[in-house]
Amino acid sequence: MYNGVKVYDVHGHVSAPGNNGAALVGGMLASNTPMRRLSDGLPGFDDDAFRASGKRHADLMDDRNIDVQIIGPRPFLTMGWMQPHLIPSWSRFVNDAIAKQCSLYPDRFLGAAALPQLSNAPDLKHCMPELERCHKELGVVAVYLSPDPGGMRTTPGMHEPYWYPVYEYCQKNNLPIIVHGTNSHDPRIGIIPQNYQIGFVVEQFIATQLLSHGDVFERYPDLKVIVCHCGGALDRFIKTDRHLAQKDLSKNLFFDTNALDINFLEAAIKQRGVSQTCFGTEVPGSGAAVRPETGRPGDDLIPIISGFSFLSEEDKLDIFHKNPLKLFPAFERAAKAAAAA
């Protein structure tokens, strides 16, 4: 909590047992055979194992004073570069794992769907059966989209008709879209450890620009999109520059606070605006490195944001609570489950 108000986190990822199924992925790739279903009773993935992994996740949230978190796929394990016949079974496994974690801890987690995106498909119609399953059967409250799931920079831009089937479904069913980069196979950045993180920066920034300059929100005026990691990178132009979209996007385009450098995070909130900023941490994720000045993990962001003098108390409550709740009313459902526990 923050000053007695629940803190809602829009950016989290599933914590399944067995290192999130990494060994299963290896077996799938080696055998070139789609995975079995989680419901088949995979060894090491029973309810007790999910309770243990979910508890570790919730304990880390408690340490950072986070009440409820939206969890989706682990982006670097989305692996949209796999052969097309493998991807649907992996997405199904990930979504079932997300649903399992949410069902065991309904007071702490809300689910966001992973989709079996194929970069070279004509459009995203092939994702609709899994999207409908996740929405109607698993009760997800959001949808993850990767701007370039294959990591080869061959996916159509997020303003193009390729994306329209998912945009249409999400607008009709009031499902916000969470835009998060996944893998990058750019050979130039191979020397950089965990170089997919650089891919996140590039793809999320490009997605922000394309969504801003394109006509997506004219076509889908009620669609809500959150771009992770503050939008990837900051704009370098003044507000009146034609390189920036000269239109009001405040009802459609939002950004989370998952940036670990304090200077960057401060600048991002100032540039994006409080009304378009939602609290997000990715706990547990890539922010475990300790800040020398505080002795706390970098993803312990409530003290950082609450210490920003340029934000009023009302601004902080908007970021931590009101803005996430406005986009995801289901946060209140989780809060009621916590009160009843």
pLDDT confidence of residue 313: 98
Cross-strand partners of 8:
68
Dist CA 306 CA 310 (whole Å)? 10
Cross-strand partners of 12:
71
Measured N-to-C along each axis, helices 17-31 and 47-63 cross at an angle, to the nearest 10 degrees, of 130
Judge contact between 123 and 163, C-beta under 8 A: yes
pLDDT confidence of residue 337: 79
Of 189, 248, 171, 203, the residue nearest 80 (C-alpha): 203
Structure tokens at 305: 């944001």
Judge contact between 204 and 147, C-beta under 8 A: yes
Measured N-to-C along each axis, helices 17-31 and 87-104 cross at an angle, to the nearest 10 degrees, of 170
Please report the domains of the chain, with CATH numbers, ordered by start residue: 8-340 (3.20.20.140)
Judge contact between 222 and 101, C-beta under 8 A: no
* Preceding peptide of 284 cis, ω within 30°: yes
Instruction: Specify the residue for token string 């995106």.
Output: 117
Dist CA 291 CA 324 (whole Å)? 26
Instruction: Specify the residue for token string 């989209």.
Output: 145
Instruction: Specify the residue for token string 């243990």.
Output: 52
- The H or E element that residue 338 is part of is helix 330-340
* The model's pTM: 0.97
Judge contact between 110 and 70, C-beta under 8 A: yes
Of 273, 271, 215, 284, the residue nearest 247 (C-alpha): 215
Task: Kindly give the confidence (pLDDT) of every residue in the chain, 341 residues in length, as a single tens digit, with 9 standing for 90 and above.
Answer: 999 999 999 999 999 998 888 888 999 999 999 999 999 999 999 999 999 999 999 999 999 999 999 999 999 899 899 999 999 999 999 999 999 999 999 999 999 999 999 999 999 999 999 999 999 999 999 999 999 999 999 999 999 999 999 999 999 999 999 999 999 999 999 999 999 999 999 999 999 999 999 999 999 999 999 999 999 999 999 999 999 999 999 999 999 999 999 999 999 999 999 999 999 999 999 999 999 989 999 999 999 999 999 999 999 999 999 999 999 999 998 878 777 76
pLDDT confidence of residue 314: 98
Residue 8, phi then psi, degrees to nearest 5: -110, 125
Structure tokens at 250: 């405040």
The three-class DSSP label of residue 72 is strand
